Structure 1
Amino acid sequence: MRRILIRSGDVAIRARLLATPTADRIWEALPISASVQTWGREVYFRTPVSQDLEPDARVVVSKGEIAFWPDGDAIAIGFGATPIAKRGEIRFTSKCNVWAVAIDDVDQLKGVYPGEQISVVEADNDDQDEWQTSPSTSRRTATRRPTQQAAMCSSGDESGSAG
C-alpha cells in the first residue's frame, strides 16, 4: 500500500493513496515541495503535476480526503469550512479528484500559514504496525529522491481563490 507524509513545520500528516490515476501521477512526482496558500479552512499548494478531472471528481469532500485541484495543478486539503461552504461541508471552488485519505488528524493544518513551505514525500513502509498504531504526532520522513520545487499557486487573484 502506498503512503505519503505531508509536512509543514511541526505539522505532519500521513496519508494512504487511493487507486486512482491522480494518485499515480502524484506518486511519480514525489517528492514535492511548495509554498502553502490558504482559503478558509483549506490549505493548497502547487505541484508539478497536471491531471484531468476523473469521473468521480467532486466539489464537496469529506474531512480527511486529500484532493487534487486540476484548475490550479494543486493539492488541496480541506479541514473545515471554506468561504463558499454550506453549513457542515468542505466545498472547493470547482471539482477536484480525491486521491488520498489522511491517516492523521487534518485539523493539525490549522497551524499552517500562507507562505510556509510544505512537502509531500514517500513515507517509510518499513513497519506496517506503526502505521496502524502510532500516534498522530509521528514525525517520520522519507528522503529517497531529490526534491522538486513547485511554485506557489498564482491564480492572478489576490483574494486567495482556491480549489
Structure 2
Amino acid sequence: MRISISWGGGSVTADLDSTPTSEALWAALPIESSANTWGEEVYFDVPVQADPEDGATDSVEPGTVCYWLAGSALALPFGPTPLSRGAESRLASAANVLGRVDGDHRALAAVRDGDTVRVDRA
C-alpha cells in the first residue's frame, strides 16, 4: 500500500506494511487533517481506531510512519523529538509501526502547526 502525504509546501510518499492498522488507514483514505508539530515530528488526527500491535514502540527511526495509539493520530517523525536520546525519534508514547517514508523524510520539516495535511492513496 502506497500513500501520498501532502501539505501546502510539499509532499512525501510512503509504503505501508500489511498490518491491521495500515489496512484500517487505507480504508479511511482520503483524509484531511490539521497538522501539529513536536520537535522534529508531524502528527495529525485520523479517523482510525486501533489496538496495540506486536512491535508497538515509542522509539523509531526517523522516517517511520506510525499510528500513535494515545492520540489516534498518524505520527511522522523525521528527526529527534523532545524525548529523544541521540538521533532516535522518540514518540510521546507507544505507536504501531505502519511503514516508511520514501526518499527524503526531512521534507516533513516544511510542515507547520495548523497546515492542512492530506493523505491519499498513491
TM-score bracket, shorter-length normalisation: over 0.9
Q: After superposition, where does 1:17-56 map in structure 2 within 5 Å?
A: 17-56=16-55
Q: 3-state SS of the aligned residue for 1:63? A: coil
Q: Does 1:69 align with 2:68?
A: yes
Partner of residue 112, structure 2: 113
Partner of residue 126, structure 1: none
Distance in 1 (CA, whole Å) between partners of 2:81 and 2:88 is 8
Partner of residue 93, structure 1: 92
Q: Output the amino acid matched with 2:121.
A: E
Q: After superposition, where does 1:122-137 map in structure 2 within 5 Å?
A: 122-123=121-122
How far has the Cα of 1:10 moved from its partner?
A: 2.5
Q: Output the amino acid matched with 1:100.
A: G
Q: Output the amino acid matched with 1:38.
A: T
How far has the Cα of 1:14 moved from its partner?
A: 0.7
Q: Output the amino acid matched with 1:46.
A: D
TM-score (norm 2): 0.97
Q: 3-state SS of the aligned residue for 1:81? A: coil
Q: Output the amino acid matched with 1:53.
A: P
Distance in 2 (CA, whole Å) between partners of 1:57 and 1:65 is 12
How far has the Cα of 1:104 moved from its partner?
A: 2.4
How far has the Cα of 1:46 moved from its partner?
A: 0.2
For the aligned residue pairs, the C-alpha RMSD in angstroms reads: 0.8
Identical amino acids, percent of aligned pairs: 39
Larger radius of gyration: 1
How far has the Cα of 1:64 moved from its partner?
A: 1.6
How far has the Cα of 1:67 moved from its partner?
A: 0.1
Distance in 2 (CA, whole Å) between partners of 1:122 and 1:104 is 17
Q: Output the amino acid matched with 2:102.
A: I
Q: Output the amino acid matched with 1:26.
A: L
Distance in 1 (CA, whole Å) between partners of 2:106 and 2:63 is 9
Looking at secondary structure, tell me which structure has more strand per residue. 2
TM-score (norm 1): 0.73
How far has the Cα of 1:11 moved from its partner?
A: 1.5
Size of the aligned set, in residue pairs, is 122
- Gaps of at least 5 residues in structure 2 are none
Flag as ranges the 4+ runs of structure 1 deviating above 3 A. Answer: none
Partner of residue 81, structure 1: 80
